[in-house]
Structure 1
Amino acid sequence: MTGREFLHKMKETVKEKVGRGSSASADSGKGKSKMSKDITHGYHLVKGKAYHEMEDYVIAKFKEVDNNEVGLFAIFDGHLSHVIPDYLCGHLFDNILKEPNFWEEPEKAIKKAYRITDTTILEKAADLGKGGSTAVTAILINCQKLVVANVGDSRAVICKNGVAKQLSVDHEPNMEKEEIENRGGFVSNFPGDVPRVDGQLAVARAFGDKSIKIHLSSEPDVSVEMIDDDADFLILASDGLWKVMSNQEAVESIKDIKDAMSAAKHLTEEAVARKSADDISVVVVKLQ
């Protein structure tokens, strides 16, 4: 199979994804659970000011799997290329859900699927090209159990009784400097004023990035949150939002907006108003 044929096949595979980034303007959408009429979701994406294609991609949908309903929500924030986040849209959740122990041990299944997916991306580097992607994923199982995983600096925040609780970990190079140096890499603020792995990448964990992968990790942090009466809503967003807004500010900004898509759009508009120049993508899942 030639590289062009592979990319064409990949694009056909990812047609099912929702909320693909666009270099044209904004993109948005909404949906709801069939199991619970109270649980809805909405997303909104806005291209940043950089002179390249939109590199944020979003998944937001509910799906029936093995007589269970799963809400699948993700944000993939690419760097140097949009191809790898595009690939993740079509493959990461499939790899997670086909793990035989997913229902019994979702944390282990997700970690294994992240590892398998990254290995495949590296093996296909000749077709997928250079660059990589961060990822934050959230799987809502039967409207009761929320499993969040991430690599990089996109973030998941849940609002419980009006209070923000971060469910993901920001993988900043300074926080993992020792591990990076143990792999033979280094963390430098030059060029610029942001800590970067080998002076190149501003996150310590990511998919892809074959040229410096030996110094990076793709191991996700995974957390589990049970959805009870205290849970109001979930926010997933790329760092284009979190660079200019704290977790609690984001929660306060949308706590009175009932429509999930309107809430997601409001957060992107607020980030732009605060001079965020990055691509901004937001998913809001209303849990009440």
Structure 2
Amino acid sequence: MLQSCYRPLEVCFGGGGGRGTDDLLWHMDLKPHAYGDYSIAVVQANSSLEDQGQVFTSPSATYVGVYDGHGGPEASRFITTHLFSYLHKYTSEHGGLSAAVIRKAFVATEEEFLRIVEQSWRVNPQIASAGSCCLVGAIAKDVLYVANLGDSRVVLGRRSEGRRSNHSVGVVAERLTRDHNVAVEEVRKEVEALHPDDSHIVMYTHGVWRIKGIIQVSRSIGDVYLKKPELSRDPHFWQIGLPIYLKKPVLSSEPSILSRKLRPQDAFLIFASDGLWEQLSDQVAVEIVMKNPRVGIAKRLVRAAIEEAAKKREMSYEEIMRIEKGRRRNYHDDITVIVLYLDQRSPTGEGATDCTSLPVDIFSLHTDEADNTPLFSSH
């Protein structure tokens, strides 16, 4: 029987919640999964923690989720409580994991959230503007699946091939996801091609490219007002913003899905919200992981990102960490990092370590809806 406990995040993770410079930083240093170890760290910058994260482990599979919310935490919280359940349901029904199963779970999550919004937005118009990027990784039977909506990113650290590499620490970064963000010219052209009759579909405002001058990501869960033209024209919705007249949806919920066989040179995976990648390049991130101890490695990446943000403002790490949530968003975004080490091939295959004692666990970062207190649940 699965049991769950809900405790303050700082109690379960270690760090954060007390006095000092790490009040908004929570982390879990190292835990086992079917193919190695993993580490998690989260730092809050927004008034409400909009990032959410999950790791599910069993003796035969590992699942990772990073959900970067915007317009409020409702969509990312919803994904946290529903997506893995749909993945489990459809994997059981279809006899195993596949790209089709993952896509079906994404569709079900999106449709269920849309139903909730349609039932409640007249009472709570803000929920119609809540959305979330959605990044999922899954490993089963030596196959890695990655599914993505938005601009969270997974980067593989691949061992380099000795003398042919110029990287001193012997690791090469391989990006496994595509950022669905109109800051990327290819994505911008893709959106423009889908809306040839709308000369303002992508606009350059406040120093960045945005769809309809509003949002940078082109794919998400939620953001119902940008997917339901009839909603965007309803005066009830104007309570939270200017009228937006749409002829058709301007955002998509279709995930990009990659699958590939794990290879001997695959060393680790970094799953992170864009708050990390705004500060660190793919190569810098994998080098940090490769040359440092495993324990606390996700926290080390978060610290490196904050140090970079501080350097841009000519501040110290300690100074930026003393800034309260809400105001902190002027310096960096919420950041969620999950590092997944790949030590072995199939847990039941030749050369695998013993995973028979590995429990079925699911760890989720989320927030209490009543007071926005960060929580960490272990099932």
Task: Please list the CA deviations of residues 156-199 of structure 1 after superposition, one character each: whole Å capped at 9, or x if unmatched.
Answer: 01111111111111001251322552596711112x11111111
CA–CA distance in 2 between the matches of 1:220 and 1:127? 26
1:77 and 1:133 in contact (8 A); partners too: yes
Alpha-carbon distance change, 230 to 247 in structure 1, aligned in 2, over 3 angstroms: same
2:305 matched residue in structure 1 = 271
Task: Please list the CA deviations of residues 85-128 of structure 1 after superposition, one character each: whole Å capped at 9, or x if unmatched.
Answer: 11101111211221133626x11111121112111111111448
2:192 and 2:202 in contact (8 A); partners too: no
CA–CA distance in 1 between the matches of 2:131 and 2:253? 11
* Counterpart mapping for 1:105-116 below 5 A: 106-116=98-108
2:172 and 2:286 in contact (8 A); partners too: yes
Tell me if 1:95 matches 2:86.
yes
**Deviation of 1:258 (Å):** 3.3
1:63 matched residue in structure 2 = 58
CA–CA distance in 2 between the matches of 1:15 and 1:138? 24
**How well do the aligned residues superpose, as a CA RMSD in angstroms?**
2.6
1:54 matched residue in structure 2 = 49
CA–CA distance in 1 between the matches of 2:174 and 2:302? 20
For structure 1, the 5+ residue unaligned runs are 1-12
Count of paired positions? 261
- Percentage of identical aligned residues: 27
Alpha-carbon distance change, 225 to 183 in structure 1, aligned in 2, over 3 angstroms: farther
* Counterpart mapping for 1:24-35 below 5 A: 25-29=24-28, 30-33=30-33, 35=34
Partner SS for 2:208? coil
Task: Please list the CA deviations of residues 239-283 of structure 1 after superposition, one character each: whole Å capped at 9, or x if unmatched.
Answer: 001112111111011212231x51111110011011161111100
1:221 matched residue in structure 2 = 256
1:119 matched residue in structure 2 = 111
TM-score normalised by the chain length of structure 1 = 0.83
Partner SS for 1:277? coil
Give the AA of the match of 2:81: G
TM-score normalised by the chain length of structure 2 = 0.64
Alpha-carbon distance change, 145 to 14 in structure 1, aligned in 2, over 3 angstroms: farther
Partner SS for 2:104? helix
1:207 matched residue in structure 2 = 221
CA–CA distance in 1 between the matches of 2:202 and 2:158? 36
CA–CA distance in 1 between the matches of 2:80 and 2:42? 15
Give the AA of the match of 2:53: V
Structure possessing the higher relative contact order (Cα contacts under 8 Å, 6 or more residues apart): 2
Moved more, 198-207 or 250-259: 250-259
Partner SS for 1:124? helix
Tell me if 1:169 matches 2:178.
yes
Moved more, 158-167 or 171-180: 171-180
CA–CA distance in 2 between the matches of 1:41 and 1:160? 16
1:45 matched residue in structure 2 = 42
Structure having the higher Rg: 2
